[in-house]
Structure formats: structure tokens, C-alpha cells
Amino acid sequence: MNKIKLLILGDDLKINGGVPNYTRPLFVELQKLTNVIYLFTGSYLGNYTLRLYPKLIEHKENIFEIINTKALSRNYHNPLVEVSEKKIEKIFEEFLIYKKITHVHIHSMLGFPSSIYKIIKKLNISLIVTVHEYWWLCMHLVMIDYKGNNCLGPDNLDKCTKCIISKRNQTRKPFRAKLPFVLKNTFPLIFEKLLKNYKIIKTNNNSYFSNANIKQKNGKDIYINKNKDILHMRSLLEHRLNSNIDSLNLCDKVIAVSSDVKMTLSKYGVNSENVLVQHIGSLIAKKKIKYTRSFNSSQINFGFIGGVNYYKGIHVLVAAFVKLDIKYNANLYIYGKFDESYKKSIEEDFKEFESFNKVKFLGRFSAEQLPSIYPTIDIMVLPSICSDTAPQTIFESYVAKIPIIGSNIGGFPDFIEHDRNGLLFEAGASEDLKEKMEYILENPGKIEDYSKNIPKLKTIVENAKELIELYKSI
């Protein structure tokens, strides 16, 4: 067999959180085992220049970026840019040939069109995709509908259309180039004045306006009514979905990071026989953290670590906590960067409860601070209302031997065995979560029992070796 020349597609390695927290250490470990290159686009952090057209740049040895990609991190105004984009396709194909790539492993699609899968297979290159987020099924990445509820997937494209149009109407069509200050702030105002209340939406070969009236220019309709707008967006989303499913079915192997991911992909047409459930490794798994708190303490500290946002269900957690009987000696510590407006809405909703003063928003933290944070928490609560695939907070909690109360959706049931190493509750149901928290308060010894049953975690080193064997088998 020929020597492996691996290309990893991921997010910008400078991003702290999400997929890069996995691909960053994985790239380091894979470098020890094979010849590997890392490629990402500038879409997430908005890396655009006055050159406007896409360009490949090298940051340091074996780390490359495509800047000025037409696709942004969210493309509500133009779904088809995530299906095909000729300039990116040309750069990508030339890169594969020049670098003599034998295997491509995709971890993120931000800034790339799904048409690159056909290019990879045309060149007889092995293709593996790990599904960390639901980019292929949902333009939001996380499946939350326009009403803020958990969404099980695109089984109703009418609902998806409402969702995307709602997001599109909340988002000004972006100017991709980072223009000088004066131009950047003047151009949008000029165009906004010219277009008044019309919203330009461009697709591959046409552009249209969302407006109730139809007008003619050179014998062609240039404005379409609201109903046509909805129907057109629905057709774009259907095309995007079908193209993405077809692309996944071109893969030699699709890695699902939890059982729920495999079930979800299979539901929407991905060949289940080609989907491998493989839990990701964790950099933190090899660390040994001594836990110093007493599990039988008369005071129980519930905790949350991660992004403090709506998807993570912090409002559900606070609603459950403040309704606990005041007789319980308990605290709730929330660690993580928060959106000020979201935090304020929680405060407005629950500030009248007597126990709200025991809820502490402690803000963002660094990885170096984690060993000092863990001892403040007796049991972690992860109340996501979206189908989190494999949250890193699970691994961070388990390495410190902290059991978890988690939502019964997404990847949580793969790691939390109910009433053995933690508890599961109905996602989004604050009353059910309150009951689970009360159970812990009434039976504090359960914390120590659960802690003893926390499973051994896969290290990033073990995961890298596992992947090398997979590459060799393809």
C-alpha cells in the first residue's frame, strides 16, 4: 500500500471551542504518525481582503487557509453557495493534485461547497467525514427551529423554509470584503438608501427581491412576491439537502461521533452500512485531576461549564434550580462566556425567586483554570435543548470524576448511563430537571456512587492511532 498523505479539513485552529478543540490536538498527534496537512477557510472568522477572489495562503508548514471564500459561516441569503462554488473547487482540486493527497478527512464544511466530494472521488482519493455538527442537514449547524425548539431534522422542509427566511430577514446581507473603515460604513448606507426596503438575495445565476409587487425590466420579472420567495427558498433548501446527502454517500466512511448521529443521518438517507459510530478522543483524558470536595457534604454545588447560550439550555437549568425548595443548601455555579442579553433575560425571568441569589454567573475561563474550577462543583448539569453530538464538557467532567445530569438527547445517552454514572432528564423540561436535582439533594451519597462508575475516556493519542488504522483499511 502507498504511504498515506492525509489532508484534514477543519475549522480555523485559532478558534477556542467546538470542533477545533478536537482537531487541534488530533492534528498534532497525526503528525507523529503520518504525513498530514491541515486546510481551513476564513469564513468563520471573516478572513476577507480587498482582492475579493479566493486565494490559498500558507500560515506555517502544513497549515493552509483559503481566504475570500464566497461561503460564509451562515449563508441564509444564499444556500446554494454551500452546494457549488467554481473558484473554490478549482483551488481545491489543484491543491489535492499538487500535494499528492491520498486521503481526505473532513471535520468541518464551513466555507467549502459539498461539490468538493465529487472532486475528491474523481481523483480516486479516499474520503472520510466525521460528523461533529449537522451542517449537512441544517444551515444553523445545531438543529433548533425558528420557535427555539429542538428540531429532529429536515423532515418538514416547509418548517425549514420558515426557519431560514426568519434568520435571513434578521441578518443584513453581508459584504464579504473587509473594506477600509470609511468605505465599509458608507457603502451599505448608500445601497440601503437606493434599495429602500428591498432585500437582495443572490443565487448562482439569478437574483431576486423579496417584495409583494412584480415589476418588469427588459421584459423580465425582477421582483417576486412573498409566496414565490417562500417557494423559491424551499426549492433551494431541498436542493442543498439532497446534494449533501448524495455527497455523504460518496464517502468511503462516515464517522458518527455518537449513536444518535448515526440514527439521524440514516433517517435522512445516508447509507447506514457506511456509517461508523466512533467516539472522539479527548486531550484532557490523559490528565489526572485530584478531586478534593466531600461528596457527602451538607452543601451541594451544581455546576455548568461551557458556552452560556440558548442552545445549551441555561434558562432551563436556572428555572429548575430556583424552584427547588429553599430548605436545600445548594448553589449553582455557571462557568463560561455569556451573551449579555441572554443573561439579562434570565435575570429578568427569575430574579423574584428567593434562591436566585445562589445562582452565580462566573464568566469565561481558560483551560489552565479548569483544575481550580472542578473542586467547586459536586455534580455537573448539561441541559442542552439541541442534539449536541458529543459535548467536550462530558469529557472534562469525567476526567475530574464529576458525574453529570444531562439531557436525554444527542450524544448524552452514549456517555451517561442513567442512575449508574449520572442522570438523564427530558430535554427542555425544567420540572423534570428539578426532580433529578432534588433526587441528588435527598441522596447526596449518589454523587460518590456515580463517580465510581465513570467510564475510562479515550485519549487523543488512542483516537489518532485508531484513525490511522481506518485510513489504511480504505
Q: Write out pLDDT tens, residues 290-307.
A: 555 555 567 899 999 988
Q: Write out pLDDT tens, residues 241-259.
A: 999 999 999 999 999 999 9
Whether the CB-CB separation of 456 and 22 falls below 8 Å is answered with no
Burial of 121 per CB tally in 10 Å (0-12, 13-18, 19+) = middle
C-alpha distances out from residue 19 to 41, 166, 212, Å: 14, 27, 42
pLDDT at 356: 93
Q: Write out pLDDT tens, residues 135-151.
A: 999 998 888 888 888 88
pLDDT at 374: 87
User: Fold for domain 285-452?
Assistant: Rossmann fold (3.40.50)
CATH superfamily of 5-145+238-281+460-473: Glycogen Phosphorylase B; (3.40.50.2000)
pLDDT at 227: 80
Cell numbers placing 271: 447509507
Question: Which stretches of the chain score pLDDT less than 50?
Answer: 1, 177-224
- Mean pLDDT score across all residues of the chain: 86
Whether the CB-CB separation of 88 and 112 falls below 8 Å is answered with yes
Q: What is the pTM of this model?
A: 0.84
pLDDT at 283: 81
pLDDT at 290: 54
Question: Fold identical between 5-145+238-281+460-473 and 285-452?
Answer: yes
Give the closest residue to 359 by CA, choosing from 409, 416, 302, 306.
302
Domain residue spans of the chain: 5-145+238-281+460-473, 157-237, 285-452
pLDDT at 340: 86
Q: What angle do CA 393, 394, 398 make, to 5 degrees?
A: 115
Order the strands of the 359-363 sheet from edge to edge. Answer: 359-363, 330-335, 300-305, 379-382, 404-407, 422-425
Within 8 A by CB and 6+ apart from 373, the residues are 305, 335, 365
pLDDT at 309: 87
pLDDT at 172: 67
